[in-house]
Amino acid sequence: MAIYSQTALTTVTTTGAPAWDVKASSVNSPRVMEIGLSLGAATASTYGLGRPANDGSVAQTTPVLLNAENPNDPASQTGTAVAWGTAPTAPTIFLRRVATVAAITGGVLWTFPRGLSCAVSKGLVVWNLATNSASLHVWIVVDE
C-alpha cells in the first residue's frame, strides 16, 4: 500500500458544524495513520473527530485528493473538503476530542498506530464543538 498526505486550511468557525472532512472513494478503504490540528489564530477552540452520523451520504464540493508521498505511486482515491453539497452531520460518538488554549500553533496530533479505517464511500469529520479559530490548519496521513 502507498502513503498519502495533505494539509488544508479551514476557516469554518460555526459551533455545531463541520470544519473539514476526509472521505474514501467508492473503490477504496483507506487507513488514517494521523490527523493533526494547529491553530492559525489565537482563539481557544474545541474540536472533535468522528464518523459523521450521515456517513455515506456526504457530498463533498470539489474534493481535494491526497498527495502521494512517493511520486511513483498511483493517484490517491481519498478526498478532503471544507465545503459540501450535503454536509457531514455531528458524529453520534466522537473518537477524539481536544480543547486548545488561545495561542497560535496550539493544537493536537492524533495518531492511529494500526490505522483508523474509513469504509468504502465513507469517512471522518473534524467537528466544531465551540466557536473556534478562524484559521485552522489540518493535516492527514493515510495508508491507501
Convert the pLDDT of each residue in 2-22 to its tens digit: 999 999 999 888 899 999 999
pLDDT of residue 14: 87
Residue keyed to cell 474540536? 47
3-state secondary structure of 89: coil
Average pLDDT in the 107-112 region?
97
Give me the pLDDT at residue 48, please.
Answer: 97
- φ/ψ of 72, rounded to 5, equals -85, -10
- What is the chain's length? 144
Tell me the pLDDT tens digit for each residue of 94-109: 999 999 999 998 899 9
